[in-house]
Amino acid sequence: MSDQTRFILNETDLPKFWYNINADNPVPPAPVLNPATKEPVTPDFLAVIFPMLLIEQEVSTEAYIPIPDEVYEMYKMYRPTPLIRARRLEKELGTPAHIYFKYEGVSPSGSHKTNTALPQAYYNKVSGTRALTTETGAGQWGSALSMACKFFGLDLEVYMVNVSYQQKPYRRYLMETFGAQVFASPSDRTQAGRAALARDPNTPGTLGMAISEAVEVAATSGGLKKYSLGSVLNHVLLHQTVIGEEALKQMDMAGEYPDVVIGCVGGGSNFAGIAFPFLRENLRSGQRTRLLAVEPCAAPSLTRGVYGYDYGDTARVAPIIKMHTLGHDFVPPAIHAGGLRYHGMSPIISSLYDAGLIEAVAVPQLATFEAALTFARTEGILPAPESSHAIRAAMDEALRARETGEKKVILFNLSGHGHFDLSAYAAYNEGKLEDFESPEEAIRTIPERLPEIPSMQSA
């Protein structure tokens, strides 16, 4: 065991490959379905919104996918990212546990999202794409993609969930600084947006609505624009595995191996990024690391949702996927300031959770912000509210270790900083935030609101 606090890799230690969990997953996800025909999607259908190079990654079962030289050089702007032992937090908690965090907030856009924004922009550029569309919730993804698009000379339209558009203007300003056009979603620019506004002119918006708008714009552009997604799908998750690959090397530098690896989950990308390389070691080498996904009680797709086929968006134009879902019509409460608002979950993470290969827990909003303040006041880093869900779970693990006297090794992904989230912190400090749990009635009726897929009921 090392007495260091920071574990820094050299540029030469930057992984040259992304890891693809599809190569080792004993329970591969069910087929993706066409929203119109409800039959398995074809490459031609997906090619309307994605470049073929990303579609190939989506369905690949190769274990390691080479990182293109152009992306590799851009990764060097901020990668490898540091692994830090949270010694002051350990002391504050009085725990025998050793707590480590992988800090992705050092990326230029402030979060892990840059890890997939750069390759997605690159693959679109070399495929001849001139412009992208996307959605964003809290703004981390929109910020990362706007920067990546500027680097590769692509235009970008961002549909930002309305409540975040109003609450987090500085994320919007950052996107616009990189040259993106940002619209509050639902907007009057699309059929999906106008329909949502007709149903509720005061809607706070949802990621499902924003996805509908971004997909519609790409699909109706005549091939001029493609759609880019910041989470959920396999090609996005595998780009994030540079996090876990680096962390494996850094834990070796620390002379320890984690008993539990923790990440927050909305769509699943940052959890997958740190957890999948450790899951590979569980599957291939007999390691027994627990992998813990942490979601908000306000949007508990894994812990309270239904595992079944559902639309990926509200307007039902995106593909239908088998996942843990709260229903594509789910609308999180406006009082929820912690992010992670998506109604569903990555199909791969859903299948792993259903098979018992990973764990999940939901944490309430107030306890999450309490943990964020404790972390900021001990470690000096203001965490993004999303990342703070992982901090909450890591602290809970450390407190249980204090009770039992176990010397656990805990690793979590600090996926971004919270410098653009100060309005949420202000609301918490002023006592304006509340805990919220989805009503039992809303959970009970999820199956009634999912699409009927007769030919896939046994899938």
Contact between 421 and 392 under an 8 Å Cβ cutoff? The reply is: no
What span, in angstroms and rounded, lies between the C-alpha atoms of 387 and 270? 9
Q: What is the CATH number of the domain that holds 411?
A: 3.40.50.1100
229: in domain: no
Written as one string, the DSSP assignment of 345-406 is --HHHHHHHHTTSSEEEEE-HHHHHHHHHHHHHHHS--B-HHHHHHHHHHHHHHHHHHHHT-
Is there a cis peptide before residue 296, judged by omega within 30 degrees of 0?
A: no
Q: What is the pTM of this model?
A: 0.95
User: Is 171 domain-assigned?
Assistant: no
Domain assignment present for residue 348? The answer is: yes
pLDDT (0 to 100) of residue 24: 95
3-state secondary structure of 302: helix
Q: Does a structural domain hold residue 364?
A: yes
Parent domain of 304 = 6-13+68-110+235-456
Rounded CA gap, 31 and 46, in Å? 13
User: Do residues 184 and 165 touch, judged by C-beta distance below 8 A?
Assistant: yes
Q: Is residue 74 part of a domain?
A: yes
pLDDT by position in tens, the chain (length 459):
788 999 999 999 999 999 999 999 998 778 999 998 999 998 888 999 999 999 999 999 999 999 999 999 999 999 999 999 999 999 999 999 999 999 999 999 999 999 999 999 999 999 999 999 999 988 899 999 999 999 999 999 999 999 889 888 899 999 999 999 999 999 999 999 999 999 999 999 988 899 999 999 999 998 899 999 999 999 999 999 999 999 999 999 999 999 999 999 999 999 999 999 999 999 999 999 999 999 999 999 999 999 999 999 888 988 999 999 999 998 887 767 677 888 999 999 999 999 999 999 999 999 999 999 999 999 999 999 999 999 999 999 999 999 999 999 999 999 999 999 998 999 999 999 999 888 888 899 999 999 998 765 444
pLDDT, position 337 = 67
CA–CA separation, 276 vs 290, rounded Å?
11
Q: Is residue 226 part of a domain?
A: no
**Counted domains in the chain:** 1
For residue 366, being part of any structural domain is answered with yes
* Angle (deg, nearest 10), helices 347-354 and 269-285: 50
Work out the number of other CB atoms within 10 angstroms of the CB of residue 119.
Answer: 27
Whether residue 207 lies inside any domain: the answer is no
Report pLDDT for 455: 63
